[in-house]
């Protein structure tokens, strides 16, 4: 838990435990984190979401961006809460309605309905300002 909760390196966790009389190597810390980490992370995420969901200002939104994996374009879909914490992520090869709905349904099942708001395209912002879209003038 020290490794994740306080963003410590494996060697710093080893040093902290050594100060408290526990003789363990950083490789043992890594091994135990790989074995039990996902289980702890799942519980922490679940409890955090329940706590935040009960608050009056809690909201989350979806975001997507493209990333290159092995030279190929993929799309990274993320559910992000109002504090910027990534709740869920999903990678697809396509950016279509089917992929978006799959991720939205998965996220809504876990976190409830998001605050629905669409980010305007840069061209829409230019039109609102009455500009020509020319960056030089």
pLDDT at 114 (0 to 100):
58
* Distance of alpha carbon 60 from alpha carbon 6, whole angstroms: 24
Residue from 84, 81, 80, 85 nearest 58 by CA: 81
pLDDT at 73 (0 to 100):
93
What are the sequence ranges of the domains in the chain? 2-53, 60-111
* Distance of alpha carbon 3 from alpha carbon 12, whole angstroms: 8
Digit-coded pLDDT (tens) for 37-80: 878 777 777 776 676 666 666 677 788 888 999 999 999 988 88
Residue 3 above 70 pLDDT?
Answer: no
Residue 117 above 80 pLDDT?
Answer: no
pLDDT at 103 (0 to 100):
84
Query: By percentage, how much of the chain surpasses pLDDT 90?
Result: 9
Residue from 11, 46, 16, 44 nearest 26 by CA: 11
């Amino acid at each position: 838990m020290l490794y994740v909760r306080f963003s410590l390196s494996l060697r710093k966790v080893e040093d902290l435990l050594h100060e408290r009389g526990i003789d363990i190597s950083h490789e043992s810390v890594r091994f135990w984190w790989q074995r039990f980490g996902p289980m702890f992370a799942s519980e922490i995420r679940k409890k955090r979401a329940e706590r935040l969901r009960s608050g009056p200002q809690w909201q989350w939104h979806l975001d997507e961006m493209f990333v290159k994996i092995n030279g190929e374009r993929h799309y990274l879909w993320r559910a992000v809460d109002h504090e910027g914490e990534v709740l869920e992520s999903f990678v697809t090869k396509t950016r279509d309605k089917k992929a978006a709905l799959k991720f939205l349904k998965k996220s809504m099942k876990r976190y409830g309905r998001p605050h629905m708001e669409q980010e305007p395209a840069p061209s829409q912002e230019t039109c609102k300002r009455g500009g020509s879209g020319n960056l030089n003038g």
